[in-house]
Amino acid sequence: MARRFFKSDNPIGKRISVQEIVYGKPNLGPEIPWEVVGVITDEKLNGLDDDRSPAMYVPYSQSPTPYVSLAVKSAANPEAMQQAILTAVQQINPDQALPNVRTMARIERESTGSTRLRTTLMTGFAAIAMLLAAIGIYGVISYSVAQRTHEMGLRAALGASAGAILQLVIRGGMMRVVAGLAIGICGALALTRTMKSLLFEVSTWDPWTLGAVALGLMAVGVMACYAPARRATKVDPMVALRYD
């Protein structure tokens, strides 16, 4: 809030005018000038991914509210302290209820619940997409290699060794795979910016993930080239020449 409204100026001693919230009335009250007496570190008001909401604290005696939160720090198990806290509050005011007692761990889980669900769903969809991509790459590459059986038979008849044919086929297939991966990585880098709001303390640019996916798809491409090419090199050249 200090950075947004005061830029590089020192906010201490300056005033902020905020309209009064009048409970029970739909309209706001007159503006109240609040003097800035200190600046605290940034807080995440609406969740762990909230880095934009400005906030200010005001004295309860000057701005009473019907909703008050009590924070208790304990070295013991916080869940075991609930009854002791309730008893202490009721000793002061027997009519005071504590309707929403939660541990900090639970607050964190609830804060990231929707984001965790979206991330889990996207992870599942990404895994399915990678599986479909692997199946597609294997099918297309293996089919294109199988279509070259006649060519490989001709090369074998002219004296080409099985290793040379395998190297030729794998190199040609992998050139297509690498070109596709290059296009896919460029598209992924462009689209990951839209996922920034779903990530917490994790960069959208993750070279390890991209590298693992690329290596996995390259391995699928190698197998797609190797398996049919290996079968074709074991076929008699005369049979391969008659292959349609």
Q: Are residues 237 and 122 in the same domain?
A: yes
Q: What is the pLDDT of residues 107-144, one digit of tens each?
A: 888 877 777 888 888 889 988 988 888 888 888 887 88
Classify 138 as helix, strand or coil: helix
Domain final residue, candidates 110, 133, 160: 110
Q: Residue 138: exposed, middle, or buried by beta-carbon count in 10 A (0-12, 13-18, 19+)? A: middle
Give residue for tokens 């599942």: 124
Number of structural domains found in the chain: 3
Same structural domain, 64 and 75: no
159 and 214, same domain (yes or no):
yes
- Full-model pTM: 0.59
92 and 56 in one domain? no
Q: Which domain holds residue 5?
A: 1-68
Residues 11 and 39 reside in one and the same domain: yes
Specify whether 53 is located in the same domain as 153.
no
Question: What phi-psi label fits residue 211: left (phi over 0), alpha (psi between -120 and 50 degrees) or beta?
Answer: alpha
Residues 88 and 189 placed together within one structural domain of the fold: no
Same domain, 91 and 187: no
- pLDDT tens for 76-109 read 888 788 888 888 888 988 888 888 888 888 888 8
Asked if 120 and 223 sit in the same domain, the reply is yes
Q: Please, which pLDDT band fits residue 10 given cuts at 50, 70 and 90?
A: very high
105 and 128, same domain (yes or no): no
